[in-house]
Structure 1
């Protein structure tokens, strides 16, 4: 498994996919069923990115046509169950035949728009096959109208039946007209719905109506009595018989049409799937432009290099709060990379940004940064706390170690592992020992690992790289004594990463932050004494 559902959510991939807006149910299926490209799929992923870049160029060159295409997509319906009924040899209903006709006509429109964009000439895949045969089956009179009717052209028998029905209805209409004229001579009018209303106070008219054999009592209300013209029994019987014959003939025709459509089913299904892939591809291209994403350079060598990387979920939230997001540069060339820094310094966001960008690339999505080199892996694992383990009766530490133990057993695969605040849920002495032992083990494994930590003494291990969050190390607090507040603290925090020597001490900004946030000076002074003057105080 490339990612578990929890790790998918922990990486904030859901935020990304929610913003890839497809228009069709087939596009939604394609998006929801998107599978990651793994280490052995480098060439396939390169082709996927080729297509994405071509569509992004189309957004520049043929923007109107692509907007037209998305407008057509909005009318596409999910016809999977209808396709299954065709495959099973079942007889389609009028509604189903109508929906197939509409689908075919929309496919024809899509083909026309794709021709105008030069879709195939640009080397893009999934152009639609011709559906003229489907349209010919369902629109034999070539009306081009987006509706469906069992046309007389389908059957001479049906044509004869319908002509006979028209004749009988005409006879009935003629008889009714004679009756209407007779009623009008008595000042009685037949309404459009066929009702003849007579006031109960009009005794003479009621007496006439009762004796007039060509109308019949229907119902009455408090002040009126309602009659209707009596229909000729013989003609009515003939019409009922003809309607039954018409329905039987229409059923035979629908059966024949369903059988004829079975020969075109492969084309319809394939075109529907292609519409889904096309819809999803265009949606990713629009996403890439909207979020200023770039194509990463791919490899299988385990190297990750990100220039001005952005965690889109965090950046989006800060934009809504009218705050600036600090883009991050990072290069991962060793088996283990540690990110250190004070709490609130952005270690976790930096780590999750790396994981999210790597995961996006694996899912065929361009990445939010100025440039990136990304290695492909067989799986990604991220540990950022496990509330589910707590629910199961395990501590946070126990849940974390259980999951890490599971992933370490995947030694035959190339994995990308991200661990936030390793061993944070146990006592510091044992936490340090476990962390160091695990880092030493990982430094000799096939995995590439990024770990955030606040423990000192973990960076002087072979094949371990070290980044620090700049944090508040360059902030002069002397002129900010009167300034308090979390908002100002976030504004002062420098979230950029800087690569440092293995032996550099982890910065201790906690005392600065505590003082800045208003903790009593007596407590601050005692903390400095206990710390032994570290932190330059």
Structure 2
């Protein structure tokens, strides 16, 4: 599945990715091309989540902060001493990760083009750092699917003296003629220093000839090293891929600990169960204003579930929170919830008509119809999830309500789970389930001079409550307008026309 820019932005997934902190170029590349775990890949996803859980446990154990009771990641079977040693090893791994440079481009070269000295330095630096990381990694409990192909022979080639210094030079041992030539050159340079400047000409010419010969020998060595190193190309690339995966796993673990995320369980019956789900981007925005996010509970079964409720009641946030949970789970992340049981979909989509420019100059209504049609055509024979925000609100109410009802019926006939918000009556009659925002239920006095948005927030109960099919949509527009201090004359005309 393609995680488009629009989907990442609208769901808040990009916000999460921006707070991910891989330390190596390979981890950053892995974060840009996340694996999507679809139906049939449950075992692979569980392995990834096991790895994240292990990294969470060890990272948590390695902190000096007071330990919380569990980390939402599941048990890791280690004794206290083992956990302490493994936590230190993980810190050793993370100390190595930022030291790597991206050398993939060096191995994408024309045949016969030798590595230059800078490239050889970078390759040796990579090998020395990799050896240090692999030694630390070996002290960890094994992570599923992560192994480092041996590059010991390549390291010996690049470090024939065994000093393990992250530097490189063409040492004498690479060619039998280098040592005597360099000795002669050094002797000549000493003679040059001891000779009057006006008599150095013949000596300088001899030095130039030796330097040219030395360059030829070094080129010969570089060609030899290039040929031998290129034989290890796939092992180098495989190690870089493993480094990227390991780096990404640690970054996922640190993110989950930072935001108190929970490991998702995988659903066996295509249903979604979310308890205490939250949207971290909205939660952070609210916290900056001194407000608190209302945790949401949702149970979604195959077919289309409908959410109705007051304007400004958080219906769109509930869609975004659900989609974000699915995207995170299917990319191997822990989710922002107290608990989550989720199935794996071939595709997850969020259709917000007002999220950006229309397709080919279409109106908001035209855009959402275009996106829906594209989704239905591309998911034939697939299990998919779609969230739709007030679908068909951009056309006349009679036709819009009819189209919304027709869509709910049609989605119920497909292999999908769908979630739709609406203000149209009659849509929930044909839905698989119906939720309503609790709404403007709090009676508060004495805040008439406060910011209108805060007045609404104080009175709004954002919880999603199960509602019977066909329950009428709430009629809160008049009260919302009054709280927003709409012009008095207009309000009188509005109320008289109801």
- Tell me if both proteins adopt one fold, taking TM over 0.5 as the criterion: yes
Q: Deviations over 1:248-305 (max 9, x none)?
A: 1111111112222233333222211111111111111111111111111113532111
Residue 165 (structure 2) aligns with: 145
Structure-2 change in CA distance of 1:250 and 1:2 (3 Å): closer
Match of 2:13 in 1: 13
Match of 2:90 among 53, 66, 70: 66
> Structure 2 CA distance, aligned partners of 1:428 and 1:109?
66
User: Is the contact between residue 420 and residue 451 of structure 1 (CA under 8 Å) also seen in structure 2?
Assistant: yes
C-alpha distance in 2 between matches for 1:478 and 1:250: 86
1:373 partner SS: strand
- Residues 442, 461 of structure 2: 8 Å contact kept: no
How far residue 231 of structure 1 moved from its aligned partner, in angstroms, is 4.4
* Aligned pairs for 1:439-458 within 5 A: 439-458=408-427
User: Residues 444-473 of structure 1, C-alpha deviation per residue, up to 9 Å, x if partnerless?
Assistant: 222211000011121112x5211011121x
Which residue of the partner structure matches residue 236 of structure 1?
204
Aligned residue runs from structure 1 range 500-511, under 5 A = 500-511=467-478
SS in 1 for 2:254: helix
Asked if 1:487 corresponds to 2:459, the answer is no
1:308-331 deviations in whole A, cap 9, x for unaligned? 001111112222333211111111
* Residue of structure 2 equivalent to 1:269: 237
The counterpart of 1:423, out of the listed 389, 392, 395, is: 392
Task: For residue 416 of structure 1, give the secondary structure of its aligned residue in structure 2.
Answer: strand
- Residue in 2 aligned with 1:535? none
User: 1:480: Cα distance to partner?
Assistant: 5.1
Between 45-54 and 521-530, report the one with greater CA deviation: 521-530
2:189 counterpart of 1:169: yes
Aligned match of 2:69: none
- Give TM-score, length-normalised by structure 1: 0.83
Q: Note if 1:83 corresponds to 2:51.
A: no
Distance 1:496 1:237, change over 3 A: same
2:124 aligns with 101
Listed as ranges, the matches of 1:269-308 within 5 Å are: 269-299=237-267, 301-308=269-276
Checking the alignment, whether the CA contact within 8 Å between 2:359 and 2:367 is kept in structure 1 is no
TM-aligned CA deviation for residue 63 of structure 1:
4.0
Q: Which residue in the other structure is 1:214 paired with?
A: none
> Matched residue of 1:460: which SS?
helix
Secondary structure of the structure 1 residue equivalent to 2:160: coil
Alpha-carbon spacing, 1:484–1:253, altered in 2? closer, same or farther (3 Å): closer
Preserved CA contact (<8 Å) 1:39 1:300: no
Q: What's the CA shift string for 1:164-199, capped at 9, x where partnerless? A: 1112122222224xxxxxxxxxxxxxxxxxxxxxxx
**Aligned-partner Cα distance in 1 for 2:487–2:180:** 100
SS of the equivalent of 1:302 reads coil
Give distance in 2, aligned partners of 1:287 and 1:38.
Answer: 23
Name which of 137, 142, 150 aligns with 1:130: 150
Query: How much has 1:477 moved relative to structure 2?
Result: 4.8
Q: How does 1:93-492 map to 2 (within 5 A)?
A: 93-116=116-139, 118-120=140-142, 123-176=143-196, 229-299=197-267, 301-386=269-354, 390=358, 392-409=360-377, 410-461=379-430, 463-472=431-440, 474-477=441-444, 485-492=452-459
Change (3 A) 1:344 1:175: same
The runs of at least 4 consecutive aligned structure 1 residues that moved more than 6 Å come to: none
Looking at structure 2, the residues matched to 478 and 525 of structure 1 have their Cα atoms a distance apart, in angstroms, of: 22
Task: Compute the displacement of 1:386 (Å).
Answer: 4.9
CA offset digits 1:405-462 (Å, max 9, x no partner): 222233311110110011110111111111111112222222211000011121112x
CA distance in 2 between counterparts of 1:156 and 1:144 reads 23
Using a 3 Å threshold, how does the CA distance of structure 1 residues 357 and 148 change in structure 2: closer, same or farther?
same
Deviation digits for residues 468-488 of structure 1, max 9, x if unmatched? 11121x211565556552223
The 1:475/1:286 distance shift into structure 2, 3 A limit, reads: same
For structure 2, the 5+ residue unaligned runs are 62-82
> Which structure would you say has the larger Rg?
1
CA–CA distance in 1 between the matches of 2:155 and 2:449?
Answer: 77
Once the two structures are TM-superposed, the CA of residue 498 in structure 1 deviates from its matched residue by 0.6
Q: Report how far residue 397 of structure 1 moved.
A: 0.8
